[in-house]
Chain A
């Protein structure tokens, strides 16, 4: 099983719709989780951190399910500008010396007018 797995998509979604996608991780000891966004031919940028109790930032909601080892991202009222690749990121360590983040390959989202 790969360390971090995502459905590559593409997800084609009409503008205004709600879309959700998941990411599974293999290391049950993983401590930190993030969603990054990457636009075509650009660098990844942090979208939001994922907290144990779940968290919301405007139209975006992130959830963590430790028992099933997955995190999710929900986008409500999708905009054309939400079209991008969404990368799931897991840090298997809680701190200390070794803490390299592991990225999923990303889910490609296309919002259609």
Chain B
């Protein structure tokens, strides 16, 4: 089991640039979640998908953020244009949808710094 795979591990970019974060969930997991973590706000749910369909994107901060899941094995989170306040660690997580009591499996995260 390769676990949830995120890339890149670190991203440093300048304000105004487009940033794309990538995630490959665990094979067979039907739910995928994007979280953002900062010291001030902790872990915040941005959006989650069930069977590649976005279910709840109410956590997406604003229109600069967008997420897609074109197939069961790949998802992207895009920020365009990026701003310094977007600096955070972005985690992707997956779990089998069939049991909401099952735990989330997190990727290693992408540490984003926007200067």
Contacts and interface: CB of A to CB of B under 8 A. Distances in A.
Q: Do A and B come from one complex?
A: yes
B42 A103 contact: yes
The B contact surface, by secondary structure, is strand
B45 A102 contact: yes
Q: How large is the interface on B (under 10, 10 to 19, 20 to 34, 35 or more residues)?
A: 20 to 34
A36 B35 CA distance: 15
Interface in B2-54: 31, 33, 35, 41-43, 45, 48, 50
Contacts of A103: 35, 42-43, 45
A100 B43 CA distance: 12
Interface stretch (A12-20, A55-63, A76-84, A88-96): A88-96
Interface in B82-115: 91, 100-101, 103-104, 106-109
Q: How large is the interface on A (under 10, 10 to 19, 20 to 34, 35 or more residues)?
A: 20 to 34
Contact of A99 (B42, B91, B100): B100
Contacts of A99: 31, 100
Contacts of B91: 43-44
B56 A98 contact: yes
Nearest to B42: A105
A87 B43 contact: yes
A98 B59 CA distance: 13
Interface in A27-53: 31-32, 34, 36, 42-46, 49
B100 A44 contact: no
A94 B100 CA distance: 7
Interface of A: 31-32, 34, 36, 42-46, 49, 87, 91, 93-95, 97-106
Given A94-B100, A98-B55, A101-B45, 19 more contacts: A32-B100, A36-B103, A42-B108, A43-B106, A44-B43, A44-B91, A44-B104, A46-B103, A46-B104, A49-B101, A95-B100, A98-B56, A99-B31, A100-B56, A102-B45, A103-B42, A103-B45, A105-B41, A106-B42
